[in-house]
Each structure stands twice: as C-alpha cells, then as structure tokens.
Amino acid sequence: MSTRRPDPLAQVSDFDIRLLKLFRSVVESGGFSAAESVLGIGRSAISQQMSDLEQRLGLRLCQRGRAGFALTEEGREVFQSTQQLLAALESFRTEVNGLHQNLRGELNIGLTDNLVTVQHMRITNALSRLKERGPDVRVHIRMTPPSEVEQGVLDGRLHIGVVPQSGALSGLDYQPLYDERSLLYCAVGHPLFYADDQLLDDERLNTQDAIAPTFRLPPEIQTHYQVLNCTASASDREGMAFLILTGRYIGYLPDHYANAWVQQGRLRALKPDVRFYDLNLAAVTRKGRRPHLVLESFLEALAAVS
C-alpha cells in the first residue's frame, strides 16, 4: 500500500530532475540491472536514488525483487508525467538555443553623419554579419549629431551609437573603432583654390572666412578652429561641406568624406602636411544595460571585423 505525502510537492528542483531522468532510464531499460550499463553506475546506487525519488514524491513507484521489476499504478502515472516534463525541458533548451542561432528583435543605431565613406567599413561589415546571422532582425539607423547620439544611448532610445570620441560621458562605454583624419579645405571659386602653396602662410589662412562645428570636440582639436576666422557654424559635417562648397569659406572635413569632391576637382586641401587633425571614432553603449542578444551579436561582429 502506498505511503502518500501529507503535503503537495512544493517545487521541482534540479536534484528532482536528475532523479526523474534516472527513473526514466530504469523504466526504459526494464529494471535496475539493465539500467546499470546505460547509467554507468551500479545497481545499489540506482536502488538508493530510486528510494530517494520515492521519498521525495511520497509514492511507491515500482516493485522490485525476485518477481522482477514492475511499475505500480502511481509509478505509471509518474512515468508519463516524467516524459512530459523532460520533453518540455528539451523543447525549452532547443528553443533558447535557437534564439542564438536565429536572432529576432530590433537594433536601433545612432550614427554621426557621413561615416559611410570610411574605407574600413567596420559598421557596414558588422551589419552584414548581423543580418546573415539573424535574417529577421530589424535594423533602424538614425543620423544625428554626436551629442544627440550619446543622449539617445543614455536614455535608451538607441541601443548603440557611433560618434567622434571627445571625452567619455559618465554612464557610457566607448569602444574605439578607427581614426579619421580631417584636412582643411576650400572649394573651386575660393580665392585660395589656385593659390601657390608657398603663399598659403598662416596669416593668410587664418584670416579667411571659416566654419566652426557646434558639436563637441576634444580641446586639442578645438585649437585648430580657434586660430581661424570662424564666421559661420554647422551642427554636422554635411553642413560644413555645404558651406565650403559655396566657395566662400574654408573648413575641416574628414578626408574620406571629401575625397570624391577632390577627385572631381571641386575641393582642395590647404597645407595638408600641417593643417590636419586626427579624431577617434568609437561605438558607444550604455553602462549597466540589460542583456540584449541582438546588440551583443552586433558588438561581437564589430570586434570580429577589426
């Protein structure tokens, strides 16, 4: 006669699951002796663990002895429930592993303008890898000034941003991507466009109408603008390009961005051996962010294409 638990089973622990897996193997093998080779343990250990399971459940699961192995009525019901439980666990494991293999969700990226012409193409290549791994991932790109990118990452509107690094903001992590060089340019129609290099002294360059950026830059780079006669400003590099191309201003642009106009004969770099600065571009994410598999996969892709 079965001895039943006075109280319901409060929870199913990892220990219970291990015992249930042993129970399943015993039943499928047809007894303790036959299960020895399957489980890799001796009959006495199997018997002890079966007793532990019966004690945990408060039920007699099987008859064992000279008459052979046989499930009790409760044992048959527990075995059926065990099969359902272990099948559900396996299904859970398979589905969770599938999330790693088939990414789903969104990636919201904020980019400083005009990074697509960077020859390294780390962002482009990382996005390609992400799409290959997760065809169903939805990517949303926002082109905004650097300060807005950083703020968007801080408040959670953006998962990741790429900005010129001009000093780390608290609450953000910065991962260096590459450096870009900016040169001082003028456009066709500007008085300096055809000027002899020997006539381009500091005094002449520094008195030309120039453009100042309104986005944040490191102090050592700001000095390049402080010596110029900045009579106009722009919030991004595209705005600076618009003004330079009027032929009325000089200004700094990333060389990768300006290259197409240089090749067309529309822009000229002024004293490129001395009038330049290098700026690091970094991927920025929020510190203490919640786990986000799509973002982590993109970061892994960025690291892989370095």
Segment 121-135, tens digit of pLDDT? 788 889 999 998 888
Percentage of the residues of the chain whose pLDDT score is greater than 70: 91
| Residue whose tokens read 């600065």 | 277
Angstrom distance (rounded) from CA 228 to CA 178: 27
Residue 154 has pLDDT above 60, yes or no: yes
| Residue whose tokens read 């690091």 | 280
Segment 9-31, tens digit of pLDDT: 668 888 889 999 999 999 988 88
Residue 143's DSSP bridge partners are 111
Tokens of 244: 């330079």
CA distances from 2 to 68, 73, 74, 119 (A): 19, 10, 9, 76
Residue 272 has pLDDT above 60, yes or no: yes
Domains of the chain from N-terminus onward: 14-101 (1.10.10.10), 106-306 (3.40.190.290)
Q: 278 Cβ partners below 8 Å, 6+ apart?
A: 179, 180, 181, 182
Q: Where residue 93 falls among pLDDT bands split at 50, 70, 90?
A: confident
pTM beyond 0.75: no
245 in Cβ contact with 181 (< 8 Å): no
Write down the pLDDT at residue 250: 98
The secondary structure of residue 72, as a DSSP letter, is -
246 in Cβ contact with 187 (< 8 Å): yes
Write down the pLDDT at residue 235: 86
The secondary structure of residue 235, as a DSSP letter, is S
Angstrom distance (rounded) from CA 275 to CA 289: 40
Q: Where residue 306 falls among pLDDT bands split at 50, 70, 90?
A: low
Residue 1 has pLDDT above 50, yes or no: no
Residue 78 has pLDDT above 80, yes or no: yes
φ and ψ of 75, to 5 deg: -60, -40
Write down the pLDDT at residue 87: 84
Residue 3 has pLDDT above 60, yes or no: no
Q: List the one residue out of 215, 200, 222, 211 whose CA is nearest residue 249.
A: 211
Angstrom distance (rounded) from CA 253 to CA 270: 11
Amino acid (one-letter) located at 227 = V
Which H/E stretch holds residue 295? helix 293-304
